[in-house]
Amino acid sequence: MHYDYVIVGAGSAGCIVASRLSEDPKVKVLVIEAGGSDRSLIISMPAALPFAYQSKKLGWGYQSGPEPNLGGRTIDEKRGRVVGGSSSINAMLFNRGNALDFDSWAEDGLTDWDYAHCLPYFRRMETFQDGSNEWRGGEGPMKISRCKASHKLHDVFLRSGEQAGYSVTPDHNAFRQEGLHIAQAFIHDGSRWTPAHGYLHPARKRGNLTLMSNTTVRRVAVENGAAVGIEIESPDGPKLITCEREVILCAGAFNSPQILMLSGIGDPDELRAHGIELKAEARQVGKNLENHPGVNLQYTTSYEDSLVSELNLFGQAKLGADWLLRKKGLGTSNFFETGAFLRTNSEVTYPNMQFEFLPLTRQLKNGKLVAIPGFQFWMDLSRPQSRGRVSLRSSSPKDPPSIVFNHLSTAQDVKDIIDGIRMAREMIRQPAFDKYRGLELAPGPDVQSDSELEAFIRANVGTSFHPAGTCRMGTDAEAVVDAEARVKAVRRLRVVDGSIMPKIVTANLSASIMMMAEKISDRILNRAPLPPSSAPFYQSAR
């Protein structure tokens, strides 16, 4: 089996790179995916998000930990093992990140990755429901809609923010991210819309693109310092697939570094400990792991005022029928329909905390998440200082990688989340919530001091499932990949996924990963980059 390009992983980046490369009819492209088909009701229906999250068939089942600063706890990390990758199971939120995120990449030497050079690729990838302008695209493969946010508690959340002194931004993916907002989502005509829908499935009709699903990649084959193909598991044993041009890893922030290390690319000391032959030294593979750690703030409200009142047995039947027959109603919602990007202190120049509002609350009962009448704020720290790592458990590709985020290893991270809780409580104390505010369930009314809040955070912190940074892009000698995503230590090998982010963005990662895949695809094809944008963006004073 011989191809020009072999792409490992049919997630967000893999679908886009495969589609763009196969636009050249003279090249043969192979995409290898460990999971199976994305044709599933629980993937397509936005409201079935909890079932997609919990599906063992659709996920890798990874856990991080033991986490040294959280009492040795482990944390579930939802990652999609299916065509479409995590875009097939995530919350579908479309958040690009702050313009200053990308400018900070440029300040560290990645001059072609500032906002002006990234914005044209964000625009190229999308068709925004409200149409195109200097910030938004109108002809791209990814369909982006505004959430309806029709439940009354969404409006209460927005009004409470205004009463607390914050603004509501009309489009947090345009001029100004900071403030409260009505969410935008990868939802089209009432159904989840993934890069598999927008890019991969249409591209498979070309004939020069092959998808091989339910296939495990054992390693990248490296000869004389260059990638020559990949080795896969097969019923007859390991099988080599060669390629003429490049191997492109799009396996995500956990699996891409694992595959590199299994291939003999990494820290020599770690590889030696597992009996893996060193092919190329790259000591930062698996290091610099980031995520967005966060907690829930939960309150009760009356049954009639919570979304739970629409999710009784009759409501669930109506939801299913409306969606199946008309693609209308509550089944078209991901429920996270309002949110905010805010600053916890005056020392940061742009938002460092993300809030997602939910007009119900959920608690774990008998091992299952159960919706109860209430509302909740999920808040996560957008730019944490803490760093973790991904490492090998063994030399077998069948064993999951070891994942340790090292959350809350710095006092600043703890302080920022404490400040975020206080901000949320201040919003909930506003008059807009007076009719709806019940008992505070978490952290609870008795948890007030910094030490009490820190204890709550360490016992309850989770993540937004946004791993990044483990194959860091940079111009310095320690960076794993260069500005065009080429692995520095091995020729004909690239990594294109969230693992190459030099610093995590202030948002859900999906949109930025898709932008990166679009931008790097041009470099692989030696196409002229899109001209930089001159669109302005909001920059506040300290």
Mean pLDDT of 462-482: 98
Q: Find the mean pLDDT for residues 90-96.
A: 98
- Residues whose CB is less than 8 angstroms from the CB of residue 536 and which lie 6 or more positions away in sequence, other chains included: 175
Residues 6+ apart with CB under 8 A from 26: none
Q: What are phi and psi of 502, to 5 degrees?
A: -70, -35
H or E stretch including 428? helix 411-428
Query: What positions carry a catalytic annotation?
Result: 466
* Residue from 197, 185, 418 nearest 297 by CA: 418
Which segments of 195-333 are extended strands (E)? Answer: 209-212, 217-223, 226-232, 239-249, 265-266, 280-281, 293-300
Q: How far apart are CA 268 and CA 218, in angstroms?
A: 19
Q: Residue 224 carries which side chain, given as an amino acid letter?
A: N
Q: Give me the amino acid identity at 246.
A: E
pLDDT the model gives residue 302:
96
Return the pLDDT at 541.
Answer: 60
Assess whether the region 1-99+194-288+386-406+466-527 and the region 148-182+293-381+409-460 belong to the same CATH fold: no
pLDDT at 366: 78
Residues in CB range of 252: below 8 A, 6 or more apart: 9, 11, 79, 85, 86, 467, 497, 498, 499
Predicted confidence (pLDDT) per residue in 102-122, tens digit: 999 999 999 999 999 999 999
- In whole angstroms, give the CA distance from residue 512 to residue 501: 9
- Cα 489 off chain centre by: 27
pLDDT in tens, 1-41: 789 999 999 999 999 999 999 999 999 999 999 999 999 99
Closest CA to 119 of 485, 539, 535, 538: 535
Give me the count of residues in the chain: 542
Q: Given pLDDT bands bounded at 50, 70 and 90, which one contains residue 469?
A: very high
Contacts of residue 365, defined as CB under 8 A and 6 or more positions apart, other chains included, come to: none
Lowest mean pLDDT among 21-30, 74-83, 357-366, 461-470: 357-366
pLDDT exceeds cutoff 80 at 128: yes
Mean pLDDT of the chain: 96
Q: Which CA distances in Å does 120 have to 53, 114, 371, 389?
A: 32, 11, 41, 32
CA distances from 119 to 137, 143, 153, 295 (A): 10, 17, 33, 31
If you search the block for the tokens 């159960």, which residue do you land on? Answer: 370
In CATH, 1-99+194-288+386-406+466-527 is 1.10.10.10:
no
User: Does residue 165 surpass a pLDDT of 70?
Assistant: yes
* Residue 199, C-beta contacts closer than 8 angstroms, at least 6 positions apart: 15, 16, 18, 19, 20, 141
CA angle 139–141–144, rounded 5-degree value: 80
| Contact call for residues 476 and 469 (beta carbons, < 8 A) | no
Q: pLDDT tens, 55-92? A: 999 999 999 999 999 999 999 999 999 999 999 999 99
- In percent, the amount of the chain with pLDDT more than 90 equals 96
Q: Are 515 and 114 in contact (CB under 8 A)?
A: no
Domain segments of the chain: what residues? 1-99+194-288+386-406+466-527, 148-182+293-381+409-460
CA distance 151 to 157: 11
Six token digits for residue 291? 């995520």
Output phi, psi for 67, to 5 deg.
-85, 120
Contacts 24+ apart (CB under 8 A), 219-223: 219/259, 219/262, 219/263, 219/264, 219/397, 220/247, 220/249, 220/259, 220/260, 220/263, 220/265, 220/490, 220/493, 221/263, 222/263, 222/264, 222/265, 222/279, 222/280, 222/490, 222/493
Percent of the chain with pLDDT over 70: 100
The secondary structure of residue 502, as a DSSP letter, is: S
Helix (H) / strand (E) containing 51: helix 49-54
Asked: is 148-182+293-381+409-460 a CATH 3.90.170.10 domain? The reply is no
pLDDT of residue 362: 84
Average pLDDT over residues 43-51: 96
Amino acid identity for residue 134 in this structure: E
